[in-house]
Amino acid sequence: MQSGEVVEIFIGPEFTRPMSPVASVKAVAGRGLEGDRYYRADEPPDSHPDEEITLIESEAIAAAQAETDVVFGPEDTRRNIVTSGVRLDDLVGQSLSVGEVVVEAIELNPACAYLVKITGKAFLKQLIHRGGVRGRIVSTGLIRRGDTIRTNLR
C-alpha cells in the first residue's frame, strides 16, 4: 500500500486559459471536477471518463524542471491534482482514494504538444514518461490540498 498527499489542485474553466490553483474542489462521480473545463453537467455520466480528473506527481515535475532551463510550474502541466509520495504510473487499472473521493486510474496521460502551445513554454521533452494519469471519479466528494492519498483499496 502506498500513501501520499495532495500537494496542489488546479482547475481550468476554459480550454485555452491558464489553470487556477484552488484549495479544494468538488469531484462529481461520472462528471468531473466542478468548475473545470471538462466538467460534464449536461451529458450522461461516464460519457468521457478519461477527462474527469488528471493527476501528476510533484516528483516528476521537479525532475523535469531540473532537466531544462525553461521555467515552468505545476499549473503549466495542465493536470488537476499534483501528488507527492505516490507512483501514479503503477496505479493504472487500480482505485485510489484522494481525500474522500475514490478515483480509478484508467490510463497514462502522456505529455503532448498542446501543453507547449497553450503555455508557450517548451518543456514537453522533459515530461515524456512523466505525464501522470487520467482517472474516472467513482465517488463524489471534496478534494482538499493536504488530503491523504491511499492505494490498494481492494
Q: pLDDT digit string (tens) for 45-78? A: 888 888 999 999 999 999 999 998 888 999 989 9
Name, in order, each residue with C-beta under 8 angstroms of 44's C-beta and a sequence gap of 6 or more: none
Per-residue CA distances from 114 to 80, 83, 123 (Å): 16, 22, 11
Structural domain spans, the chain: 3-150
82 compared with 123, residue with greater pLDDT: 82
Task: Give the whole-angstrom CA distance, residue 88 versus residue 81.
Answer: 11
- pLDDT for 71-80, tens place per residue? 899 998 999 9
pLDDT at 46: 81
pLDDT digits (tens, 9 = 90+) for 92-112: 999 999 999 999 999 999 887
50 neighbors 134 (Cβ within 8 angstroms): yes
pLDDT of residue 154: 59
Q: Looking only at Cα atoms, what is the longest distance across the chain?
A: 44
Residue 135 near residue 52, CB atoms below 8 Å? yes
Is pTM beyond 0.85? Reply is: yes
- H or E segment at 7? strand 3-11
Class of domain 3-150: mainly beta
